[in-house]
């Protein structure tokens, strides 16, 4: 996804006009009302904000996605996260609850929260509700709005987005986990045609069959597991599956966000496999929950369709065992695109009332931009081929039908349609084919892609400007590249290792996979290494002795010598990739340095390459400006290690100093020399 910045636990709120800022870590929603019990809520007024440019990306309850039937209490934590199709605008939030079941939000006290300042970041909030308040099936509305909204929400049609839910407040939880602990706010609607069929842990297999949405096997099964053990999950379903596995390592009667030990996605009865990550789980006996959602994201506290099963496990200490070989993981620096080309198959869709405005000529024109980009980036070692399916596929529904469905419904629909049209290898992630699905704008969905399967979802939102850079960015995701991140250590290059505070999403301001997609920023050297046929390591030697090394510009159609340098850190885990750019606004008097292997498990989704982090060699010259939603990238613009300045490895293994530059600027013959002293 483009321009969806990684959020931290610090909330910055700013208004578009005044620029005033307010830093908060918690917004309290106080609902003061008399004792009231509502048994059923009907829909209030329908509103249709313009969600083409900003939308509600997620609403989470205690770390899990908010769903109908959710249980809210005075201790409930609600996180509201905006999403954007391109630029990040500052937004307001409002929340209503229909407290008297009269089908509106106009009564006193029903507007339970309204932000006073606008923000482009997520906000977290807690409901403070008297213990004697009891609400069942009450309607809750969350509105994201760029401008002021009516006190009852009705009639709002400006920029923003809306979500409606039916919730309960301060009611006794549904049973789950065989006791009052581990409650389920919603028991999935499983059945014979949709349930967990088999679970295999460390080679030990359990077949449970249909349990009508929930099965408690804690008294029946106890299996010993350790960090890195294999897990294989199999479902009975005709739909896509999303899996989550939690272990209550602290035995506090609930599954916390940091107790997720495996997640994955599949299709129909195809097994989903991987390795358990027990690095944050204490040894000893504990409850394990396995969740399979057939219509969204798996959550430990329940969802609408699928099944949940609980087991007992004995988590064994991994002390004294051999460390895990990174090459055994299904993600990381060893994962590469194995082909010397990629084939993009374009399929166009239309609704009965909305035609696709993209012409074949436009698609061809933008794909030719992408062909030229990868030709230049690979130095002629990689081909992008594309083919456009001849017929526009008619969905057979009005667009409004799909506006009210989930993204997974759309993914299932076009997957089945493509397979029916002969794309029998649609789910083959080993081939060199990725799919571009082009349709009129649906709901608030933005351009997005994933590696399993390799597919891009692009929507015709009426913007006539070229989307080629964005498509190329998503092609990177579809093949297996993460975003090119930045590392903001505040007063130092690496900081203290606090991922949430120091990782800057899209932080590489020069890269296609960072914050320079629309202008076709060049890939960094480490990400070029993802493509096996490019043989990048042959052009980027590892510094094995103290010496002066000459590095030529990497950002031209040809290369005139070594285009980078690799330096191994003193911890034997991190590798520095040193590069010299003459385009994309980079400082030609210095080198840029990205890391390989830092935060290696920050995203453990299978089939993805390891994440790069651009280092800022002049940290904090542009401290975070709370009045500027976009200044997270500013500090990296002067982040080069310039001539005459030195950097010493965080773990003390070397010192590197750029000494001089030469050649012809603006060509592949431009070069810079760096002195390396190994310690």
Phi, psi of 411 (to 5 degrees): -60, -40
DSSP at 6? P
The tens digit of pLDDT for each residue in 159-207 reads 999 988 888 776 654 333 333 467 777 778 777 788 898 898 877 777 7
User: What's the chain's length in residues?
Assistant: 679
Inter-residue contact 95 to 128 (CB < 8 Å): no
- pLDDT (0 to 100) of residue 128: 63
The tens digit of pLDDT for each residue in 223-234 reads 888 888 889 999
Reduced DSSP (H G I as helix, E B as strand, rest coil) percent helix, strand, coil of the chain, to 5: 10, 35, 55
Phi, psi of 420 (to 5 degrees): -65, -25
Residue 98 lies in a domain: yes
Residue 643 lies in a domain: yes
Q: What is the mean pLDDT of residues 590-601?
A: 93
Residue 1 lies in a domain: no
Domain total of the chain: 4
- pLDDT (0 to 100) of residue 450: 87
Inter-residue contact 591 to 567 (CB < 8 Å): no
Considering the domain architecture, whether residues 438 and 470 belong to the same structural domain is answered as yes
Q: Pick the last residue of a domain from 446, 479, 512.
A: 479
Domain of 61, CATH number, reads 2.60.40
Q: What is the mean pLDDT of residues 497-516?
A: 90
Q: What distance in Å separates the CA atoms of residue 384 and residue 78, rounded to the nearest whole number?
A: 44
Q: Is the pLDDT of residue 663 over 50?
A: yes
Q: What is the mean pLDDT of residues 520-549?
A: 96
Phi, psi of 599 (to 5 degrees): 50, 60
Considering the domain architecture, whether residues 229 and 283 belong to the same structural domain is answered as yes
- pLDDT (0 to 100) of residue 576: 98
Domain of 401, CATH number, reads 3.40.390
Q: Is the pLDDT of residue 3 over 70?
A: no
Inter-residue contact 443 to 360 (CB < 8 Å): no
Considering the domain architecture, whether residues 610 and 497 belong to the same structural domain is answered as yes
Please enumerate, as own/partner, the contacts of 620-625 that have beta carbons within 8 Å and a separation of 24 or more.
620/490, 620/491
Q: DSSP letter string over 482-503?
A: ---EEE--TTSSSTT--HHHHE
DSSP at 308? E
Q: DSSP letter string over 647-660?
A: EE-TTSSEEEEEEE
What residues are paired with 234 via a beta bridge? 198
Considering the domain architecture, whether residues 495 and 432 belong to the same structural domain is answered as no
Q: Is cis: bond before 517, omega within 30 of 0? A: no
Considering the domain architecture, whether residues 434 and 510 belong to the same structural domain is answered as no
Q: What distance in Å separates the CA atoms of residue 351 and residue 7, rounded to the nearest whole number?
A: 36
Domain that holds residue 115: 11-172
- For the chain, the farthest-separated pair of C-alpha atoms sits apart, in whole angstroms, at 79
Considering the domain architecture, whether residues 518 and 613 belong to the same structural domain is answered as yes
- Cα→Cα distances 636→43, 266, 355, 383, 417, Å: 48, 38, 42, 32, 44
Considering the domain architecture, whether residues 307 and 353 belong to the same structural domain is answered as no
Q: Is the pLDDT of residue 21 over 60?
A: no
Q: Pick the last residue of a domain from 142, 172, 202.
A: 172
Q: Is the pLDDT of residue 361 over 60?
A: yes
Considering the domain architecture, whether residues 392 and 441 belong to the same structural domain is answered as yes
The tens digit of pLDDT for each residue in 389-421 reads 999 999 999 999 999 988 888 988 999 899 999
Q: What distance in Å separates the CA atoms of residue 512 and residue 507, rounded to the nearest whole number?
A: 11
Q: What pTM did the predictor assign?
A: 0.58
Considering the domain architecture, whether residues 16 and 153 belong to the same structural domain is answered as yes
How sure is the predictor about 339, in pLDDT bands with cuts at 50, 70 and 90?
Answer: very high
Residue with tokens 């012409």: 359
Residue 370 lies in a domain: yes
| Higher pLDDT among residues 441 and 137, named by residue | 441
Residue with tokens 């992630």: 429
- pLDDT (0 to 100) of residue 249: 87
Inter-residue contact 567 to 578 (CB < 8 Å): yes
Residue 329 lies in a domain: no
CA-CA-CA-CA torsion for 149, 155, 157, 161, nearest 10 degrees?
70
Q: Pick the last residue of a domain from 148, 172, 196.
A: 172
Residue 365 lies in a domain: yes
Q: Is the pLDDT of residue 135 over 80?
A: no
HSE of 535, CA atoms in CB hemisphere, 13 A: 7
Inter-residue contact 266 to 216 (CB < 8 Å): no
Q: Which residues contact 288 (CB under 8 A, 6 or more apart)?
A: 245, 246, 247, 248, 310, 311, 312, 313
Considering the domain architecture, whether residues 536 and 512 belong to the same structural domain is answered as yes
Residue 335 lies in a domain: no
- pLDDT (0 to 100) of residue 667: 95
- pLDDT (0 to 100) of residue 40: 30
Q: What distance in Å separates the CA atoms of residue 604 and residue 548, rounded to the nearest whole number?
A: 37
Considering the domain architecture, whether residues 521 and 432 belong to the same structural domain is answered as no
Top-ranked range on mean pLDDT: pick from 40-54, 549-563, 628-642? 549-563
Considering the domain architecture, whether residues 257 and 190 belong to the same structural domain is answered as yes
Residue 414 lies in a domain: yes
């Amino acid at each position: 996804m483009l321009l969806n910045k990684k959020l931290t636990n610090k909330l910055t709120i700013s208004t578009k006009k005044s620029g005033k800022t307010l830093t908060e870590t918690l917004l309290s929603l106080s609902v003061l009302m008399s004792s009231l019990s509502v048994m059923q809520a009907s829909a209030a007024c329908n509103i249709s904000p313009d969600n083409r440019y900003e939308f509600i990306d997620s609403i989470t309850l205690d770390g899990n996605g908010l769903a109908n039937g959710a249980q809210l209490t005075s201790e409930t934590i609600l996180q509201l996260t905006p999403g954007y199709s391109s630029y990040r605008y500052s937004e307001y939030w409002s929340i209503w609850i229909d407290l008297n079941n009269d089908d509106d939000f106009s009564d006193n006290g029903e507007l339970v929260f309204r932000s006073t300042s606008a923000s482009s970041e997520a906000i977290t909030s807690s409901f403070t509700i008297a213990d004697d308040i009891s609400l069942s099936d009450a309607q809750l509305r969350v509105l994201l709005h760029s401008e002021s909204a009516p006190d009852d929400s009705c009639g709002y049609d400006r920029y923003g987005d809306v979500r409606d839910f039916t919730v309960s407040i301060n009611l006794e939880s549904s049973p789950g986990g065989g006791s009052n602990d581990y409650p389920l706010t919603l028991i999935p609607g499983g059945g014979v045609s949709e349930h967990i069929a088999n679970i295999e842990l460390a080679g030990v297999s359990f077949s449970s069959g249909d349990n009508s949405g929930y099965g408690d096997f804690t008294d029946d099964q106890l299996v010993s597991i350790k960090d890195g053990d294999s897990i294989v999950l199999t479902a009975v379903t005709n739909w896509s599956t999303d899996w989550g596995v939690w272990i209550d390592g602290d035995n506090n009667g609930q599954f916390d966000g940091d107790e997720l030990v495996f997640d994955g996605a599949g299709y129909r009865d195809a097994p989903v496999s991987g390795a358990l990550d027990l690095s944050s789980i204490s040894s000893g006996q504990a409850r394990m929950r396995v969740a399979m959602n057939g219509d969204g994201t798996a959550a430990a506290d329940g969802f609408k369709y699928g099944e949940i099963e609980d087991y007992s496990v004995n988590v064994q200490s991994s002390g004294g065992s051999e460390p895990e070989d990174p090459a055994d993981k299904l993600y990381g620096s060893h994962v590469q695109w194995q082909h010397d080309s990629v084939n993009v198959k374009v399929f166009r869709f239309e609704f009965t009332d909305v035609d696709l405005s993209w012409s074949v000529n436009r698609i061809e024109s933008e794909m030719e931009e992408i062909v030229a980009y990868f030709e230049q980036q690979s130095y002629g070692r990689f081909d992008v081929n594309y083919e456009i399916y001849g017929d526009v596929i008619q969905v057979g529904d009005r667009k409004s039908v799909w506006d009210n469905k989930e993204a997974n419904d759309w993914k299932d629909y076009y997957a089945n349609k493509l397979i029916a049209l002969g794309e029998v290898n649609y789910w083959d992630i080993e081939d060199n084919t990725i799919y571009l699905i082009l349709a009129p704008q649906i709901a608030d969905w933005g351009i997005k892609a994933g590696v399993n399967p390799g597919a891009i979802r692009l929507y015709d939102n009426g913007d006539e400007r070229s989307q080629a850079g964005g498509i190329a960015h998503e092609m990177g995701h579809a093949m297996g590249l993460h975003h090119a991140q930045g590392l903001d250590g505040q007063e130092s290059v690496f900081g203290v290792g606090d991922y949430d505070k120091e990782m800057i999403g899209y932080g590489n301001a020069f890269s296609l996979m960072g914050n320079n997609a629309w202008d076709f920023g060049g890939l960094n050297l480490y990400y070029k290494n993802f493509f096996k046929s490019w043989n990048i390591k042959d052009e980027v030697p590892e510094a094995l002795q103290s010496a002066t090394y000459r590095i030529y510009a990497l950002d031209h159609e040809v290369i005139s010598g070594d285009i980078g340098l690799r330096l191994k850190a003193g911890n034997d885990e991190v590798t520095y990739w040193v590069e010299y750019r003459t385009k994309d606004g980079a400082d030609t008097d210095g080198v840029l340095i990205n890391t390989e292997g830092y935060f290696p498990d920050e995203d453990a989704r299978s089939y993805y390459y390891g994440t790069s982090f651009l280092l800022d060699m002049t940290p904090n010259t542009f401290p975070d400006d709370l009045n500027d939603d976009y200044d997270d990238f500013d500090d990296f613009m002067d982040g080069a290690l310039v001539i005459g300045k030195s950097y010493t490895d965080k773990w003390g293994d070397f010192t590197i100093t750029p000494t001089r530059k030469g050649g012809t600027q603006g060509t592949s013959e431009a070069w810079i020399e760096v002195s390396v002293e190994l310690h």
